[in-house]
Amino acid sequence: MSSRDGKKHIVVCAVGHLFNLTPVKKGGGWSYPVFDAEWKPSFQVRKESAFSKKYFDVMQTLIKDASDFVVATDYDTEGSVIGFNVLRFLGGAKDGRRMKFSTLTKDELIDSYNTMSKHLDFSQIESGLTRHELDWEYGINLTRALTLALKSAAEKGFAILSSGRVQTPTLYMLLEKELEIRKFKSKPFWEIQLKLKLDGKEVVANYEKDKLWNKKEADEILAACKGKDAIVKDVKRREYKQAPPAPFNTTDLQSEAYAQFKFSPTQTMRIAEGLYQAGWISYPRSSSQKLPPSINYEKIMKALGTLNQYSKFVQ
Q: What is the pLDDT along the chain (315 residues), one digit of tens a residue?
A: 788 888 899 999 988 899 999 999 876 678 889 999 999 999 999 999 999 999 999 999 999 889 899 999 988 899 999 999 999 999 999 999 999 987 777 888 898 999 999 999 999 999 999 999 999 999 999 999 888 888 777 666 667 888 888 888 998 999 999 999 999 999 999 999 998 888 889 989 899 998 999 999 999 999 999 888 888 888 899 999 999 888 888 889 999 999 999 999 999 999 999 998 887 887 777 777 777 777 778 988 999 999 999 999 999
- Which residues are within 8 A (CB) of 118 and not within 5 positions of it... i.e. 6 or more apart? 97
Last residue of a domain, one of 156, 185, 214: 185
> Which candidate in 113, 276, 283, 297 is catalytic?
283
Please indicate, yes or no, whether residues 63 and 90 belong to a single structural domain of this protein. Answer: yes
Say if 232 falls within a structural domain: no
Range of the domain at 257: 250-314
For residue 61, what are the CA distances in angstroms to 10, 50, 64, 137, 223? 12, 18, 6, 33, 85
What CATH number does the domain containing 117 carry? Answer: 3.40.50.140
Say if 239 falls within a structural domain: no
Please indicate, yes or no, whether residues 30 and 72 belong to a single structural domain of this protein. Answer: yes
Please indicate, yes or no, whether residues 203 and 256 belong to a single structural domain of this protein. Answer: no
Residue 172 annotated as catalytic: no
Say if 215 falls within a structural domain: yes
3-state secondary structure (DSSP) of residue 41: strand
pLDDT of residue 27: 64
Please indicate, yes or no, whether residues 177 and 205 belong to a single structural domain of this protein. Answer: no
Please indicate, yes or no, whether residues 208 and 134 belong to a single structural domain of this protein. Answer: no
Give pTM, 2 decimals: 0.67
CA dihedral of 204, 206, 211, 213, whole degrees rounded to 10: -90
pLDDT of residue 290: 76
Say if 240 falls within a structural domain: no
User: Positive or negative CA dihedral for 47, 51, 55, 61?
Assistant: positive
Q: How many domains does the chain have?
A: 3
